[in-house]
């Protein structure tokens, strides 16, 4: 791909997105459809990027930006469904899709089929979450999908490395899958935390919004590449670095300094632009591959079998996610009702529950303990399973040859299936999510009332802190620590304080 092609794709995507916005459509899906159609225009060249370039250039900033906007308190409150979807579901999907692929494509063998399973396992929910408010997604659904997107990629890439090593085409630091995953996770998070500490130290000494924003833009790439150099999870390194920097620069008074508000305001305007450009390119790139995949399959004798396999796996990953999410959430509901019954009928359980309630009250911990998502929320989470750029990047990263020099079994089929399944989920699920949300008619009145109450509480905290902007921000941060406010509300109000200070300082 040359520079002219890249610019044409981006400018075309901007035009399409502008029209889609005016017509109330999802820009990314419109870009995919039009790009797929455009790929069949005579003379359109095939666009190919190195898989390592995709992983190192496209994925880190998208993850970093999504994490910047994520709520730490929401992640903590929804940790159970996030971990279940981001780890357990990815592992099970890899096994189910891999075994199904081995039955439909027996010539490639079970290890290579498990590579295919790992490629198809992680859904890409970042784009859906980005437009969650416009789609009308309930706040808890957005929190769960955001958290899942920050975890599942690391799980899938670990499984991918193990599966490739099992085929005889790669190697890993540890043969034991659990040990490898533990190393990837712990080391990746450590790298992200160390870079976050260094970034926070550096930002306080730059005192220039342009320089500080430049550091922010470089951080996701540095975290990803450095973690990958030590064979750890670059994904988790980016997530931890983003969480640490965004939370501390807004809420920790140790990282406040004169002029810090200007850097926060500038970053708040820069990152949405980065998101839009990368998402536009990714969707266009996916669509523009369609004709060439069809042509490569047509030139072989596996066209029909590959297309059938892709169709079966498309249905498999969609239905398996729906069933797993619905079953898991329903099981949690049964367990919760069982606990409630024991508390109501067992004096010892009731006493234990009361002690915990009093312990939390004495420490000012008033955050509500969330129950399981409702059936409607489970349906939305289950249906939001579109595959995206990580699936395509992992498929492109499949080695061409094994260690003995023989071709990697089924490499062309794996890449073709990955593209067809990705396009299928984007078109089937992506296009119907807005309709599903509207049809479910989820009542978010209580959610909006709670948000309004938290906002009013935060405004009262600001007014009580007096006219000093730094004192207002510190009061909001203290309220988060005492669990009187959640961090999302506090950060939103801090953004308002930043804007008022910027207006005051320019008078």
What is the rounded CA–CA span in Å between residue 456 and residue 460? Answer: 6
What is the rounded CA–CA span in Å between residue 137 and residue 142? Answer: 6
pLDDT-derived band at 127, boundaries 50, 70, 90: low
What is the rounded CA–CA span in Å between residue 319 and residue 331? Answer: 18
Helix axis angle for 89-104 and 109-120, nearest 10°, is 130
Token couple for 207: 């005192």
219 C-beta neighbours (distance < 10 Å), count? 23
pLDDT-derived band at 402, boundaries 50, 70, 90: confident
- Answering whether pTM is above 0.85, one says no
Asked whether the beta carbons of 429 and 383 are under 8 A apart, the reply is yes
pLDDT digits (tens, 9 = 90+) for 200-223: 999 888 888 899 999 999 999 999
- Structural fold of domain 48-334+368-442: Na+/H+ antiporter like fold (1.20.1530)
Query: Would you state the pLDDT for residue 279?
Result: 79
Q: Where are the domains of the chain?
A: 48-334+368-442, 449-505
Stated as kind and residue range, the H or E segment containing 464 is helix 445-465
Q: Higher confidence at residue 297 or residue 33?
A: 33
Asked whether the beta carbons of 348 and 404 are under 8 A apart, the reply is no
The average pLDDT across 461-486 equals 88
pLDDT-derived band at 507, boundaries 50, 70, 90: low
pLDDT digits (tens, 9 = 90+) for 221-235: 999 999 989 988 888
What is the rounded CA–CA span in Å between residue 458 and residue 450? Answer: 12
Cα within 13 Å of Cα(422), Cβ side? 34
Given phi > 0 = left and psi -120 to 50 = alpha, else beta, which region is 483? left
Distances, alpha carbon 263 to alpha carbons 257, 266, 272, 273, in Å: 11, 5, 15, 16
The average pLDDT across 455-465 equals 91
Token couple for 471: 């004192």
pLDDT-derived band at 362, boundaries 50, 70, 90: low
Distances, alpha carbon 287 to alpha carbons 31, 34, 61, 106, 121, in Å: 8, 7, 21, 29, 20
* Positive or negative: CA dihedral 133, 32, 412, 221: negative
Token couple for 275: 């998101």
What is the rounded CA–CA span in Å between residue 492 and residue 455? Answer: 9
pLDDT digits (tens, 9 = 90+) for 149-170: 888 888 888 888 888 888 877 6
Of 385-399, 407-421, 469-483, the least confident: 385-399
What is the rounded CA–CA span in Å between residue 61 and residue 65? Answer: 6
Q: DSSP 3-state assignment of 407?
A: strand
């Amino acid at each position: 791909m040359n520079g002219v092609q890249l610019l044409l794709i981006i400018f075309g995507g901007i035009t399409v997105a502008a029209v889609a916005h005016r017509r109330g459509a999802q820009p990314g899906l419109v870009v995919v459809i039009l790009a797929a159609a455009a790929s069949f225009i005579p003379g359109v060249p095939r666009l190919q990027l190195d898989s390592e370039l995709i992983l190192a250039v496209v994925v880190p900033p998208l993850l970093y930006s999504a994490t910047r906007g994520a709520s730490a308190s929401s992640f903590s409150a929804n940790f159970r469904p996030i971990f279940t979807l981001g780890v357990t579901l990815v592992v099970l999907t890899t096994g189910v899709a891999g075994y199904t692929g081995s039955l439909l494509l027996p010539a490639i063998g079970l290890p290579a089929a498990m590579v295919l399973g790992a490629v198809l396992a992680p859904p890409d929910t970042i784009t859906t979450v980005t437009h969650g408010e416009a789609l009308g997604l309930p706040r808890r659904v957005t929190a769960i999908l955001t958290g899942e997107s920050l975890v599942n990629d690391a799980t899938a890439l670990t499984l991918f490395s193990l599966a490739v090593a099992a085929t005889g085409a790669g190697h890993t630091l540890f043969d034991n899958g659990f040990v490898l995953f533990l190393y990837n996770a712990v080391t990746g998070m450590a790298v992200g935390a160390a870079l976050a500490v260094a970034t926070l130290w550096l930002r306080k000494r730059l005192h220039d919004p342009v320089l500080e924003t430049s550091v922010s833009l470089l951080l996701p790439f540095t975290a990803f590449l450095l973690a990958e150099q030590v064979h750890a999870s670059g994904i988790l390194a980016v997530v931890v670095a983003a969480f640490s920097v965004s939370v501390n620069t807004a809420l920790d008074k140790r990282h406040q300094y004169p002029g810090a508000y200007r850097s926060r305001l500038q970053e708040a305007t820069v990152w949405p632009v980065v998101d839009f450009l990368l998402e536009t390119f990714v969707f266009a790139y996916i669509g523009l591959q369609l004709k060439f995949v069809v042509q490569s399959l047509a030139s072989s004798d596996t066209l029909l079998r590959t297309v059938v396999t892709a169709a079966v796996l498309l249905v498999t990953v969609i239905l398996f996610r729906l069933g797993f999410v619905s079953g898991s959430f329903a099981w949690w509901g049964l367990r919760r009702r069982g606990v409630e019954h024991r508390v109501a009928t067992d004096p010892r359980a009731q006493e234990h529950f009361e002690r915990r309630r009093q312990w939390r009250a004495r420490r000012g911990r008033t955050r509500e303990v969330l129950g399981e998502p409702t059936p409607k929320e489970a349906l939305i989470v289950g249906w939001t399973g579109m595959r995206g750029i990580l699936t395509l990047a992992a498929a492109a990263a499949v080695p061409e040859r094994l260690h003995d020099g023989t071709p990697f079994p089924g490499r062309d089929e794996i890449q073709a299936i990955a593209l067809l399944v990705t396009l299928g989920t984007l078109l089937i699920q992506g296009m119907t999510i807005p309709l599903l949300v509207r049809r479910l008619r989820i009542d978010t009145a209580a959610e909006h009332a709670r948000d309004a109450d938290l906002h009013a509480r935060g405004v009262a905290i600001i007014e009580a802190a007096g006219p000093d902007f730094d004192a207002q921000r510190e009061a909001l941060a203290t309220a988060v620590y005492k669990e009187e406010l959640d961090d999302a509300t506090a950060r939103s109000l801090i953004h308002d304080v930043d804007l008022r200070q910027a207006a005051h300082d320019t008078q």
